[in-house]
Every structure is written in structure tokens, then in C-alpha cells.
Amino acid sequence: GDSVTQMEGPVTLSEEAFLTINCTYTATGYPSLFWYVQYPGEGLQLLLKATKADDKGSNKGFEATYRKETTSFHLEKGSVQVSDSAVYFCALSDRNQGAQKLVFGQGTRLTINP
């Protein structure tokens, strides 16, 4: 079945550092790819998405490019802030289904120190 693998955390960085969180996937079809973010005590929020190969999703300074050849969707940000501290989830959904069932990676906890 479909699966998503994320780099293990936790990840701790200093403010203004460069961030990369790796995500690779296995899927039989042509999935859509997502990054969700979860702040403490809250539900997940969509951060960005890409629906086809070579698409780049971006939001709030975060970017990720859908790489079909390497089955990857790595999350990057050039200069992180303390407010970026959260848990980040990579996910995929099978675009051929009416209901967008999501398959999640295990999550990566990010802590940014001032």
C-alpha cells in the first residue's frame, strides 16, 4: 500500500537557520502531496501542497517540490523563526478517489531556539 517516510526528529535549530525536513513516498498511482503543521494543543493545518510532478508548493516562506523521479517532497525554509516550532507531517492522497484519504508520515517535531 501507499506509505510516507519522514526524517526522524526531533530537530532543533537556531533562529534564522536553514531548514530541511526530508519526505519520501511510495504510491501506486499519481498522488497529491501535502505538508501539514500541528502547533501544540491544536489540530493539523495545511501548510502547502502539490498535485503533480515538478509542482512547487509554497506558503509562509516554506517550500516543497514534487519530485516524481526521486519520489520525494522535502520541506525547506531559508530562515526559521521561533514561531515555526511545531510538528510537521508529510502526507499523500490518491487523487483518483472521491474522498481524499490521507496517508501520513510519522511527523517531525521542530524546535527553534532564539
Partner 1 sequence: NAGVTQTPKFQVLKTGQSMTLQCAQDMNHNSMYWYRQDPGMGLRLIYYSASEGTTDKGEVPNGYNVSRLNKREFSLRLESAAPSQTSVYFCASSRTGGSGQPQHFGDGTRLSIL
Q: 33, 30, 7: which is closest to 109 by C-alpha?
A: 7
Nearer to partner 1, 3 or 83 (CB): 3
Which residue in 44, 64, 75, 112 binds partner 1 (CB under 8 A)? 44
Work out the burial of residue 57: count CB atoms within 10 Å of its CB; fewer than 13 is exposed, 13-18 middle, 19 or more buried.
buried
54: phi then psi, degrees, rounded to nearest 5: 75, -5
Q: How far is CA 52 from the centre of its chain?
A: 15
Say whether residue 99 binds partner 1 (CB under 8 A).
Answer: yes
- Nearest distance, CB of residue 41 and partner 1, angstroms: 7
- Nearest distance, CB of residue 107 and partner 1, angstroms: 5
Q: For the chain, what is the radius of gyration of the CA atoms?
A: 14
56: Cβ contacts below 8 Å, ≥ 6 apart? 50, 63, 64, 65, 66
Nearer to partner 1, 19 or 66 (CB): 66
Say whether residue 10 binds partner 1 (CB under 8 A).
Answer: no
Say whether residue 93 binds partner 1 (CB under 8 A).
Answer: yes
- Nearest distance, CB of residue 13 and partner 1, angstroms: 21
Question: Which residues contact partner 1 by CB under 8 A?
Answer: 4, 32, 34, 36, 41-46, 49-52, 89, 93, 95, 98-107
